[in-house]
A and B are shown apart, each in its own frame.
Chain A
Amino acid sequence: MEVLKKYPKLFQWLFLLIVFFALCFAIDVPETYKFIRGQAEFVKDPNQSAFVFLGKEVRYYAFDVFWRLPPLLGWLPIWINDSLFFLMNDWMPMEFWNEDTQEYKTRPLVLQITRNLTAFMTFLIELIREILLGGLETIVAFTSWDWIDANPWAELPGLPWTIVAAGSAILAYKLGGKGLAIYALLSMTYISIFGQWKPSMQTLSFILVAAPLSFIFGLGLGIAAFKSKRVEKALYPILLVMQTMPQYAVLVPALVLFGVGDHAAVIITMIVAVPPMILLTLLGLRAVPPEVIEAGRMSGCNNWQLMSKVLIPTARRDILIGVNQVIMVCFSMAVISAFIGAKGLGFNLLLALNQLNIGLALEAGLCISLIAILLDKMSLAWANKQVDYFGNLNFFQRNKNSLFFGVVVIAGILLAYFGSIYFKDGYNYLFEVPHNKGISTASFWNKGVDWIFDTFFVYIKAFNTWLIVDVLQPMRALYLRMPAIATLVLVVGAGYLIGGVRSALVVCGLTLFIALSPWWDRALVTTYMATFGVIVSCIIGFTVGTLCFQNKHSTNFMLNICDIFQTFPSFVYLIPVMMLFGITDTSVLIAVIVYATIPATRYTIEGLRSVPAGLHDAATMSGVTKFQRLFKIEFPLAFPHMMLGLNQTIVFALFMVIIGAFIGTEDLGQYILKALSDKKGAGIGLTLGICVAFIGLIFDNLIRTWVGKRKKHLGID
């Protein structure tokens, strides 16, 4: 009894676990239970039960409610789908003027809006794309095809790659100095020489539209939320769900609304990239000290000046992290949106992965990463740029970069001209190195992969088999063996113990949504893969982070590595693992582990860093050893921050698990991928995405509540 009173929390947790396991053992697996159940709506089977709700018939295999809840929300995807179709095709038909046919035409409102939006996006992308690569579309947009036929000279010629490469180097020099300039020149030259110019520029034009638009919208909405409580309240739940929604899942409904192509990709990218930008803008603006705002007011700022000259610059650090995130998401989406027909490197990457041509995939992936890092560093350098007021410069000094760029343009054009004479019959390599006509290292990599496979086949296979048979399969079986009621009790109980009734109710609602959807079993598989990934990632991340923290140089080194790795689009991670492990669950899990280790490591280091120096000194003066200090002082204090890292790790892991469906998994991601090619997949895709988002939110809620309480308890921030 004494012990019980001393550790009440511990016993509550023990009690919860006992109840959980008791339920697991008490409820047997029904004999008819088979793992696959999700396709019930497509198969007609006399053993199925059915119900009708809102005119939608839902068929399913019924089990004991304690084992699996009936899919009472099964009508939701169908209903979403129908509503979407109704909105697009039948709602509010109106007369719209049609330019081409010169007459009024009846069209539903939503369709007209989305079509105008896509036309606008297409124009923006084409404009940049044709400046870089040349083409007709932009001129057509201002005139007509007839005009083009009459004036065959009217075509944007596109810039020779030499000009773009040198131009980006000059820009990089102006923004960030020599180092960045060299990096820009080298990566652009690499891209050209290795024959990736055209797809790279296509991707770049996509990014140059998507990233600024996302930034502007995110900043604008962030400011609106900062200024008005009501806007914030309206945005908050959407932001929360979008934070944990896998990027894949957004593709499907967008497909219905905006069709296929680059324009749809830009819109989806904005949908994904804007929420983190909003959150970080809001966070940054909130953190501006009130006296700084007052100082701005007393300097006579009007509202606009206060926002643009005081608040935003002061909140710059967080807003910059937002920009960073936007760029990261844009590149990630540049690949993923290849699924809905976006052109560029992403498309090549997917194609190569599909053909198992690892070498080609690697080249495309490398190019994406190079451009991603370049843009990331350039945006950072731009934001940190300083003005020198005392430079008494003459005209030449002030405009040397522009002048130099002018020289470069002329030189580039001349070069291209000479090139056209020199390479008379073939391709003008000084203008553009055509795709796949550059140097390719693909065969080298492919041979390398073959060599690795041949040489280490036995070991890899042994490892693979061991992992799958002895670790993954049993773990998966365990997860699927949980009766729904036991899972519910466990999750809700944890919610209650951590955050009281409120938390318990939130978590219960989220879990029930998944349990009542037709994909509970799939969600369990997703959770099992994510759990495995998170556990390994955390072990690696916490260990590496702690070790690196012992030394200042290794700390900075590790943070830089995290920065660079984070810039890689998520799909790129699949390349090397497929090289080694082929198309298996192991590949997916290893990609998950690598990807999710980044936040785990970063937050560990940052957490340890946040321990006040005073405590450090106090501990040292008490005569602790290095280990004692680590375990008695640093870990307990850094733990809340590290738990936030765990939160991020879970989100990253979930994302990668879903993307892993591309390799082939049997979880929610597989269905999302399927929904992509399904005409009526919009509702399914969205509901599946929400399910994944809710899995993330359950953990998010529990961890955040715990961290909040813990921090209060420790008296930090």
Chain B
Amino acid sequence: MSEPVIKCQSVYKIFGANAERMLKEANGNVDAKTFQDNGCIVGVNNASFEVSKGEMLVVMGLSGSGKSTLLRCISRLTDATGGKIFIEGQDLLNLNNKELIDLRRNKMGMVFQSFALLPHKTVLENIAFPLQIKGIKTEDSINKAMDMVKLVGLDGRENYFPRELSGGQQQRVGIARSLAVEPDIWFLDEPFSALDPLIRKEMQDEFLRLQEKLQKTIMFITHDFDEALKLADRIAIMKDGIIEQLDTPANIVLNPATEYVRKFTEEVPREKVLLIKDVMDETTSSNIGDLKVSKDEIIENVAEKILTQEKTVAVIDSKNNVVGSINPAKIINTVFGGRKNNN
């Protein structure tokens, strides 16, 4: 595997007057309570992870868990107090102002919870803004922006002002703006949290459609666990600045690392999250029926078919080789068993 696009090593962000000194003295053992007593607030506590090219990492946590702070450290909207951050191998914290601006102009795009559109510019001007900042000619930037307007489906509204748009439409503008410079890395800070549930679902689908097309490296912040499960390649769950668990959705649901993570996973409908390969047996038993299912199917989609079988079902990979088997009883067990509340 090639070099990770984003790489964090023991990143700390501590707010307060003596943050740096205290961090040094703590010697890598940061306790939120001691820091708080000394007037410092721990935002991010020892975060280490990597995001590889084309991967979508969703950072999930409740408000105040430090997820937005983490994102701002990686986009260097705030400077991390300690640790190292590498963007495509470049040491982010050692970049000078000019290099940082270059990086943002060419490699990064960001979407904000409150849309953060410029109120005095029209949809088109907002989208063209990063291009014009880069110094691209007005005509070219406007043409490019027009393509973006079409991409997010706002044709015909390009001359509207943000105040004349609904929340969903405003966020489409925010998304289009962040994509205008064709960045490799895409940061999204709770982009859909301020939207109505119906619009939110629509935007999530739209987002998945875009990502399929664009294949960006993404860090996506949300406080909605369902959203995280729906979108993520991997999920990082944060609490009090600490990453409690970082894993695939399936692993988080199946093997929650801490009590805190378990609480989130309890209510999750597993059949919607888990794939066949997550629950299948690696061995093939003799009692196999005619039905074959792909290992990459979500359980929900094939559960009915499997449950109508009496025999064990064969699991195949994309090349039609049998790689395992699954018993209908296993499906029932996965969907209904093993939950505290239901027992």
Contacts and interface: CB of A to CB of B under 8 A. Distances in A.
A71 B29 CA distance: 66
Contacts of B133: 299-301, 305, 309
B116 interface: yes
B118 A291 contact: no
A191 B177 CA distance: 50
B109 A291 contact: no
Contacts of B109: 298
A533 B105 CA distance: 58
Given A291-B112, A294-B110, A295-B112, A300 B134 contact: yes
A298 B104 contact: yes
A313 interface: yes
Contacts of B118: 292, 295-296, 310, 313-314
Nearest to A298: B110
Contacts of B177: 295, 299
A300 B114 contact: no
A389 interface: yes
Given A300-B134, A309-B133, A294 B120 contact: no
A490 B115 CA distance: 52
A297 B112 contact: no
Contacts of A294: 72, 77, 110, 112, 116
A300 B107 CA distance: 10
Interface in B12-34: none
Contacts of A305: 133
Contact of A291 (B106, B114, B178): B114
B113 interface: yes
A299 B104 contact: yes
A389 B132 CA distance: 14
B97 A295 contact: no
A302 B100 CA distance: 10
A291 B105 contact: no
Interface in A303-353: 305, 309-310, 313-314, 316
A302 B97 CA distance: 8
B138 A289 contact: no
B249 interface: no
Nearest to B134: A300
A316 B120 CA distance: 8
Contacts of B122: 386
A291 B118 CA distance: 10
Contact of A292 (B72, B116, B134): B116
B130 interface: yes
Contact of A314 (B110, B119, B174): B119
Interface string B162-181: 00000000000010011001
A111 B174 CA distance: 56
B105 A300 contact: yes
A389 B101 CA distance: 27
Contacts of B119: 314
B75 A298 contact: yes
A301 B112 CA distance: 17
A316 B118 CA distance: 11
Interface residues of A, number: 21
A443 B101 CA distance: 69
Interface in A213-245: none
Contacts, number: 68
Contacts of B115: 291
B116 A297 contact: no
Interface in A2-38: none
A233 B113 CA distance: 34
Contacts of B114: 289, 291
A307 to B, nearest CB: 13
B129 interface: yes
A299 B129 contact: yes
A130 B232 CA distance: 70
Contacts of B104: 297-300
B171 to A, nearest CB: 12
A236 to B, nearest CB: 23
A176 to B, nearest CB: 17
Nearest to A386: B122
B124 interface: yes
B77 A297 contact: yes
A386 B122 CA distance: 9
A268 B154 CA distance: 52
Contacts of A296: 118
B110 A295 contact: yes
Interface string B131-169: 001100010001000000000000000000000000000
Contacts of A386: 122
A450 to B, nearest CB: 54
A316 B161 CA distance: 15
A300 B77 CA distance: 11
Given A298-B104, A299-B130, A300-B133, A313 B120 contact: yes
B87 interface: no
A309 B120 CA distance: 10
A389 B116 contact: no
B285 to A, nearest CB: 54
A302 B122 CA distance: 22
B101 A302 contact: yes
Interface in A180-214: none
B108 interface: yes
Interface in A238-297: 289, 291-292, 294-297
A444 to B, nearest CB: 48
Residue of B116, B125, B181 contacting most chain A CB atoms (<10 Å): B116
A400 B108 CA distance: 42
A389 B138 contact: yes
A534 B163 CA distance: 39
Contacts of A389: 124, 138, 142
A46 B142 CA distance: 85
A297 B187 CA distance: 13
A314 B77 contact: no
Nearest to B114: A291
B167 to A, nearest CB: 14
A289, A300, A301, A387: most-surrounded residue (chain B CB, <10 A): A300
Nearest to A302: B101
A304 to B, nearest CB: 11
Nearest to A290: B116
A296 B112 CA distance: 11
Contacts of B142: 389
A297 B72 CA distance: 11
Contacts of B77: 294, 297-298
Contacts of B97: 302
Contacts of B105: 299-300
Interface in B75-117: 75, 77, 97, 101-102, 104-106, 108-110, 112-117
A297 B97 CA distance: 11
Contacts of A289: 114, 116
Given A298-B75, A298-B77, A299-B177, A291 B101 contact: no
Nearest to A388: B159
A55 to B, nearest CB: 48
B108 to A, nearest CB: 6
Interface string A348-387: 0000000000000000000000000000000000000011
Contact of A295 (B116, B120, B124, B125): B116
Nearest to A306: B133
A302 B133 CA distance: 9
Nearest to A313: B120
Question: 5 closest Cβ contacts across the A-B interface?
Answer: A300-B105, A299-B130, A295-B116, A291-B116, A298-B110
Interface of B: 72, 75, 77, 97, 101-102, 104-106, 108-110, 112-122, 124-125, 129-130, 133-134, 138, 142, 174, 177-178, 181, 187
Given A291-B113, A291-B116, A310-B118, 16 more contacts: A291-B115, A292-B118, A296-B118, A297-B77, A297-B104, A298-B187, A300-B104, A300-B106, A300-B181, A302-B97, A305-B133, A309-B129, A313-B118, A313-B120, A314-B120, A316-B120
8 contacts: A289-B114, A294-B72, A295-B177, A298-B108, A298-B178, A300-B101, A300-B133, A313-B118
